[in-house]
Amino acid sequence: MEVIINGKFLCQSKSGVQNFALGITEALLKLEPTIQVIRPSTKGKVPLQSKQIGIFKGFLWEQISLPMYLFKKKDSLLINLSNSAPLFCKNQVVTIHDLAFEKEGKNWFTLSFRAWYQILIPKLCRKAKLVFTVSNFSKNELISNYNLPSQKIKIIQNGLRTTVNENKTDENYKYLLVTGGNNPRKNIKWIVQNIDILIKHGFKLVLLLNNDTVFASDQIPTHAHIISYTDIDDARYFQLLKNASGLIYPSHYEGFGLPILESLSMGVPVIASDLEVFKESFGDLPTYFEHNNVTSFENAIVSIKGKTIPISEQDKLKEQYNFEKSAKELLTAIYELKK
């Protein structure tokens, strides 16, 4: 059986989903160098060896060019790692990180994206040989929303893939870091509305934004104590994270929360909304605050001042969330399909 990876993620804006896909793919290629990664054309450089096919990009590439290529590969299995896959492909596995697009009344995505995913994802989950996801929370959501059998869903843990740049940043001020700043689901607008709390305790707010067009983007106002960066590279991201006084992760909904893992594994404290999935994944290491509760949020800020994550806990996270281990589990799962 020829194993092929859907490399569309290599041409997308970076987010937790794309970082997961890249980390798993790098680990898979080390274990099985014969695995082929195929992708659309792109002007920029891609971070790993891959084969460009087809004339389309994005949605059209995945739904037309990719299945046409696979049609000639009768004995092949397609691995999809980033929340999407070709609808007309019989022999594939899919990875669904969360079901945010199914949340009624939530204007987190463009209408066209949400409508398409509400058609696509249920069909993919039912047709796929296996469905991978990143937490028990997301697994339970897949079961309850789509009535999938539990044994069809395999949890593949997230991981850490980038060597941290521990050089000091040019920022000569204390700051708290927030990622996904223009994505409404990340709830950053609420943090901005309460910027006076950060100012009161001596912090500025550093926002990391991206240009992904599938989100119904929040407009973030300018402010003397808010510094924004858009689509920075990995080295700059980890530099800013390492030197932050803390990470704020106030999301309404998540399937995992990769920046929390990255922050904790570097000893940087985290303030997070009290979501079930965060407690499942990270226990009591973050400082939780009651969702959109100003008093609870301010108490969390006070509690992380001068706090660091013990090295022993950092090491446990690095051992638990390891892409090499996850890639081995993924390969075991797909090779079981041949039996």
Average pLDDT value over all residues in the chain: 91
Question: What pLDDT is attached to residue 107?
Answer: 79
Bridge partner residues of 76 (DSSP):
2
Q: What is the DSSP string of 31-42?
A: H-TT-EEEE---
Question: How far apart, in whole angstroms, are the C-alpha atoms of residue 91 and residue 227?
Answer: 46
**Residues 314/266, Cβ–Cβ less than 8 Å:** yes
| 37 phi and psi angles, rounded to 5 deg | -105, 125
Q: Could you report the per-residue pLDDT of 277-287, keeping only the tens digit for each?
A: 999 999 999 99
Rounded Cα distance, 5 and 80, in Å: 6
Confidence (pLDDT) at 163 = 59
What's the token pair of residue 40? Answer: 């659309």
Q: Does residue 161 or residue 330 have the better pLDDT? A: 330
209: phi then psi, degrees, rounded to nearest 5:
-110, 165
Alpha carbon 263 to its chain centroid, in Å, reads 14
At 105 the pLDDT is 62
247 in helix, strand or coil? strand
Structure tokens at 251: 């999301």
> Using an 8 Å Cβ cutoff, are 276 and 243 in contact?
no
Task: Report the predicted TM-score, pTM, of the whole model to 2 decimal places.
Answer: 0.92
Question: pLDDT tens-digit profile of 206-237?
Answer: 999 876 655 445 566 678 899 998 888 888 89
Say whether 94 sits in a helix, a strand or coil: strand
Q: Answer whether residue 258 shows pLDDT above 90.
A: yes
Domains of the chain: residue spans and CATH: 2-159+322-336 (3.40.50.2000), 175-320 (3.40.50.2000)
Question: Quick one: how far is CA 12 from the chain centroid?
Answer: 12
The answer to whether 6 touches 51, Cβ cutoff 8 Å, is no
Provide the pLDDT confidence category of residue 199 given band limits of 50, 70 and 90. very high
The CA distance from 49 to 37, in Å, is 7
pLDDT of residue 339: 62
Average pLDDT over residues 122-148: 97
**DSSP state, residue 109:** B
Region 174-191 average pLDDT: 89
Q: Write the CA distances from 149 to 10, 140, 277, integer angstroms.
A: 31, 10, 21
- Kindly state the tokens that stand for 275: 């979501």
- CA–chain centroid gap for 40, Å, is 21
Cα separation of 14 and 231, whole Å?
A: 8
Count Cα atoms within 13 angstroms, Cβ side, for 160. 19
Range with top average pLDDT, 126-130, 157-161, 166-170, 181-185: 126-130
Statement: residue 86 has pLDDT above 90: yes
70 and 86 Cβ atoms separated by less than 8 Å: yes
pLDDT at residue 74 in the model: 82
pLDDT > 50? residue 38: yes
| Tokens coding 282 | 């990270």
Question: Would you say residue 323 has pLDDT above 80?
Answer: yes
**CA proximity to 330, closest of 171, 55, 93:** 93
pLDDT at residue 168 tops 90: no
Contact criterion met (CB below 8 Å) for 171 and 239: no
Question: 245 is written with which tokens?
Answer: 């006084």
Q: Does the structure show a pLDDT above 90 at 103? A: no
* Per-residue pLDDT, 216: 46
Residue 142 has pLDDT above 90, yes or no: yes
Token pair belonging to 249: 């992760």
Percent of the chain with pLDDT over 70: 93
pLDDT for 139: 98
Total residue length of the chain:
339
